[in-house]
Chain A
Amino acid sequence: MISIERSLDTPRWQRVALPFMSLVLAAIISGLVLAASGHDPIATYRQIYAASFTSPGALTSTFVYATPLLFTGLCVAVAFRMRVWNIGGEGQLYMGAIGASGAGLLLGGLPQPLLIPVMIVAGVAFGALWAMIPGLLRAYLQTNEILVSLMLNYVAGLIMYFLIYDSQSFWRDLTSPTALVFPTGKTLSASATWPGVVIGSFTLPMGFLVGVGFAVLLFVLVRNTRFGFEMRVMGDSPSAATYAGMRTRRIILAVMALSGGIAGLGGASQIGDFGHVLDPRGLQQAQYGYTGIVVAALALYNPLAVVVVSILIGALTNAGFALQGPSFPAGLVGTMEGIILFSVLGGEILGRYRIRIGSQLRVAPADAEADAGR
């Protein structure tokens, strides 16, 4: 007798193979979309590959996009793994950028080795505080954190606009006559620039290295500490965590702060590594926060895998901006990212079920329902 049944655990090879199979599936579906709209899929994929890896300077600019995605990917990975649905990475990144640029401008006279940590702390603090709004509401009132964190993305974007375009704020450049007509932010001093690692013609941003450090820390934190154990229990079964006497409110708040802080650090890196100025349009255009969801899902919410996936999706995003034009419409990359996410989700069925030939003996675990989501 042949039957399809739930597998009790996913074999390790499947966990590794799933993202790759999803990418192949996504490439096929995206190819169909491209063909349907009159583009040659193979030629387009060649263009994307060249624009993200092989053209002169391509790899450097791939890392320009991979760096923020590494942070927003970690932000989503750490929260979603615990079933805290923080989709406010976008706004928390803006707030981190506001905090880090504010600190950089205020203390511009400090020497570089002091100023950079100050900017990092400011970015983390602003991002974490912004994430505390949905965090506190969720922890104490059971308010839906998805909607609250998302609404605050729009508010954070408007705060940035207000600071640069609609007020005489500290962040805005009010000295030159052109800046009064075309508002821009104040440029940070040279000591606020984060030094990248230059290897030949390739520059690795400092922020990316900081992000890798954070990914390793998170991996260890979740796997090897008591706090990480509590987080995992809460993610798998909130009621078990309550019965075990864990302080679930505190865990929710900690996860939110951690998640928001990492996104805020991404904002600090945007200022220190790349922009050196608070640029609302530039920050908003890329939608790093939302793309972080794609990164985290493709990495199956594993912090170390986020590092690799961020480079991959960073390459795709980079190609999107580099090739943008009539033959490569702006929405194409977002569409492809959506298809990748769908493929990862659809691929889950392969990991969760198996075809069994023989007698049906094994029984599904009782909490299968609660587990079905991951």
Chain B
Amino acid sequence: MNTDLIVAIVVSAIAYGTPLVLAGLGELLTERSGVLNLGVEGMMLMGAVTGFFVSQQLGGPGWAVLIVAMIVAAGAGGLMALIHAFLSITVRVNQIVSGLALTIFAGAVGLSSYVGQVWGIGGQHGLHQLNRVDLLGLGELPVVGPILFDQDPFVYLSWGLVVLVAWYLYRTRFGLYLRAVGESPRSADAMGINVTRYRYVHTVVGGALAGLGGAYFTLAIAPIWTDGLTAGAGWIAIALVIFAFWRPDVLLIGAYLFGALSSLGFTLQAHGVQMPSEFFSSLPYLMTVVVLAGASTTLARRRIGTPASLGVPYAREEG
């Protein structure tokens, strides 16, 4: 295989993997606090549509517009997560159904489609798109240049976030408390940790990261808005968290593997390989099934990483 093809595959793996890294990190933080949020797909779509809308409306220098668009997208994702936080933490309803409700509410035929139509941004061509930044002028280096030093700011941001989240989880007091809340909210409560606050904060931050991940589709991959353009990326991000055993470093690798699978069809077709497009399109979904089955066999044996209280509401007066 020639190097060009490999570089092309890696570069597009990073492009398609970046939204998964962002949304996956968000879900990882949420699940570490013991809250399962199945609304990632809906939160990503809300981030995608609001980010795109803001980038179309604002004037000014491109970089400033894009930063504002990213902040708004994160805010939209966080706001969606707040609904789930209220229902699952305060009202203590079933987290699975609440997350599904969020995806139905905000998803491909829900609010994201509704606001997209009310704002009339369907079919518009994007005015701003995140460009690659040649870091330290090293983008011209063979192989590592295009992979490591010639990415858009979102990609650098996602790398920074992986390091930040890993540091936060394993090297700070707050991270330790967060893991305690996820493992045993009762013990954490007895230690004086505010379980409710930890769960709220990490659910909302998780939503904000999902919103950012969604905005990557409309601000970086292709500057257009169509209903349901994330095509299940939110669900794959949830699967990735399981696959990564709730660890940010493994999540990054997993996300790029799925990114490679998602883009494999385009890359191979561009290099003249003929296969039905449906086959390539179904690869990430089939791979998710295979990976989940594989991870669950190990999990069943060793139970690595799963926060013990995941999906279980915490109520001080009960039990």
Residues on A lying within 8 angstroms of B by beta carbon are: 6, 33, 37-38, 80, 85, 87, 133, 137, 141-144, 146-148, 150-152, 154-155, 158-159, 161-162, 166-167, 287, 290-291, 293-294, 297, 329-335, 337-339, 341-342, 345-346, 348-349, 364, 366, 368-369, 372-374
User: Is B239 a contact partner of A346 (Cβ separation < 8 A)?
Assistant: no
> Is B146 interfacial (CB-CB < 8 Å)?
no
Residues of A within 8 Å of B282, CB to CB, are 154-155, 158-159
Known: A87-B100, A158-B282, A331-B113. A147 touches B91 (CB 8 A): no
By beta carbon, the residue of chain B nearest A337 is B104
Q: In whole angstroms, how far apart are the Cα atoms of A342 and B232 in the complex?
A: 22
By beta carbon, the residue of chain B nearest A332 is B114
> Is B93 interfacial (CB-CB < 8 Å)?
yes
User: Is A345 a contact partner of B101 (Cβ separation < 8 A)?
Assistant: yes
By beta carbon, the residue of chain B nearest A151 is B285
Known: A146-B96, A334-B107, A345-B93. A369 touches B318 (CB 8 A): yes
Known: A147-B292, A294-B104, A334-B107. A142 touches B91 (CB 8 A): no
User: Which of B83, B104, B300, B315 has the most A CB atoms < 10 Å from its CB?
Assistant: B104
Q: In whole angstroms, how far apart are the Cα atoms of A348 and B91 in the complex?
A: 8
Other than the given A290-B104, A345-B97, 8 more pairs (CB < 8 A) read: A37-B114, A38-B118, A143-B292, A154-B232, A155-B286, A330-B117, A348-B93, A364-B317
Q: In whole angstroms, how far apart are the Cα atoms of A345 and B100 in the complex?
A: 11
What number of B residues sit within 8 Å (CB to CB) of A? 60
Residues of A within 8 Å of B299, CB to CB, are 142
> Is B145 interfacial (CB-CB < 8 Å)?
no
Residues of B within 8 Å of A369, CB to CB, are 312-313, 315, 318-319
Known: A338-B102, A341-B101, A342-B87. A144 touches B292 (CB 8 A): yes
A302 CB → nearest B CB, Å: 15
User: Is B91 a contact partner of A331 (Cβ separation < 8 A)?
Assistant: no
Can you give 21 contacting A-B residue pairs, CB < 8 Å? Answer: A37-B118, A147-B238, A151-B235, A154-B232, A158-B281, A162-B276, A162-B279, A167-B276, A287-B109, A290-B104, A293-B97, A293-B100, A330-B114, A331-B111, A331-B116, A334-B107, A335-B105, A335-B110, A341-B101, A342-B83, A372-B318
Residues of B within 8 Å of A339, CB to CB, are 105
Residues on B lying within 8 angstroms of A by beta carbon are: 38, 83, 87, 91-98, 100-118, 227, 231-232, 235-236, 238-239, 242, 276-279, 281-282, 285-286, 288-289, 292-293, 296-297, 299-300, 312-313, 315, 317-319
Residues of B within 8 Å of A338, CB to CB, are 101-102, 104-107, 110-111
By beta carbon, the residue of chain A nearest B118 is A37
User: Is B117 a contact partner of A329 (Cβ separation < 8 A)?
Assistant: yes
Residues of B within 8 Å of A290, CB to CB, are 103-104, 107
